[in-house]
Amino acid sequence: MRKAYIAGNWKMNMTPSAGAAFAKELRAAAEKAAVDVKVMVAPPFVTIPAVAEVLKGSSIIVAAQNMNDHESGAYTGEVAPAMLKDLGVNTVILGHSERRSYYGESDSFINAKLRLAIKEGMDVVLCVGETLEERESGRLEEVLSTQVSGCLKDVSAAEMAHVTIAYEPVWAIGTGRTATPEDADAAHAYIRSLVASLYSDDIAQNLIIQYGGSVNASNVKALMAKENIDGALVGGASLSVEKFLPIMTFDK
Ligand code: PEP
């Protein structure tokens, strides 16, 4: 039985003080509603300490949105996994489509970061997903297969316990356009079959696959009802407690 995993990617929003105030409100709301799914929030790097302080002792996980592919050194402006771990951050989102498209991140670069994160004992939410043009030209499976196998290259079966995959069709991110639950479930089933062929049925069955792309309070229940959808990676709607709480309590 896979435990539902709801995550909020704050992107480049929330100063440290705004993030701390928001986290306080979120924590209180989640505790009052007795949220019993796994919940994560990913603030910008500089906002992490303030949010981690507020969420200390709560079950809400604080994650990073990115990290560098080196342990330390002359990489101006970058953040190493050890720095995140020193803040108590043990989870990192990698391969988000905004990083792929705006910063040119390739599958092999994401793979290097993913292997380093796992080597450092961290958990990873690995994002994959196709553009509209790729979907409309019938290349959905080819794109997912290339991304999944490229990003998981040389990751062992045992290490897969640290990996969550987020299926995020690029055309549904921040657009208000969601994949239908059926389309999303089909893509998730395909990702699961890829993982089964790369590893084993057992690993594929235990893999948490989140859906991301304009998830909100109105569509989360139908998405989460699908067999292969185990959670959500939420952007816009994770920036408001009023919008994020009903996503966390989708089943109630
Ligand atoms: C995201 O950035 O991962 C995302 C899914 O954004 P949104 O929910 O705003 O579409």
Instruction: Report the nearest atom of ligand 1 relative to the CA of 234.
Output: 8
Looking from the CA of residue 238, the nearest atom of ligand 1 is 8
Catalytic residue among 96, 105, 130, 188: 96
Q: How many CA atoms lie within 13 A of 48 on its CB side?
A: 24
| Confidence band of 251 (pLDDT split at 50, 70, 90) | confident
* DSSP assignment letter at 93: E
Q: What average pLDDT does this structure show over 48-59?
A: 97
pLDDT higher than 90, residue 98: yes
Q: What is the pLDDT of residue 31?
A: 96
Any ligand 1 atom below 6 A from CB of 121 = no
pLDDT reported for residue 133: 94
Q: What is the mean pLDDT of the chain?
A: 97
Distance 74 CA to ligand 1 centre (A): 32
Closest-lying ligand 1 atom to the alpha carbon of residue 175: 10
Q: Which residues share a beta bridge with 232?
A: 6, 211
Q: What is the mean pLDDT of residues 166-177?
A: 92
Query: Tell me, what's the pLDDT at 223?
Result: 97
Query: What's the rounded Cα separation, in Å, for the pair 146 and 86?
Result: 33
Q: Please tell me the distance between residue 212's alpha carbon and the centre of ligand 1 in angstroms.
A: 6
- Reply yes or no on whether 168 is catalytic: yes
pLDDT attached to residue 43: 98
Write down the pLDDT at residue 174.
Answer: 87
Task: Using the predicted structure, report yes or no on whether residue 176 has a pLDDT greater than 90.
Answer: no
Taking residues 36-42, report their average pLDDT.
97
Query: What per-residue confidence (pLDDT) applies to 191?
Result: 98
Q: Would you say residue 252 has pLDDT above 80?
A: no
- Split at pLDDT 50, 70, 90, the class of 232 is very high
Ligand 1 contact, 174 CB (< 6 A): yes
Domains (ranges, CATH) in the chain? 5-248 (3.20.20.70)
CB distance 234 to ligand 1 below 6 Å:
yes
Counting ligand 1 atoms within 8 A of each CB, the residue from 93, 99, 171, 173 with the most, and so the one to mutate, is: 173
Across 218-239, average pLDDT: 97
CA distances in angstroms from 217 to 44, 176, 240, 245, 252, listed in the order given:
24, 12, 11, 8, 12
Residue 192, pLDDT score: 98
pLDDT confidence bin for 177, thresholds 50/70/90: confident
* Of the candidates 4, 65, 55, 49, the residue with the CA atom closest to the CA atom of residue 25: 55
What pTM was computed for the model?
Answer: 0.97
In a 10 Å sphere around its CB, with 0-12 CB exposed, 13-18 middle and 19+ buried, how is residue 45 labelled? middle
Report which of residues 211 and 251 the model is more confident about: 211
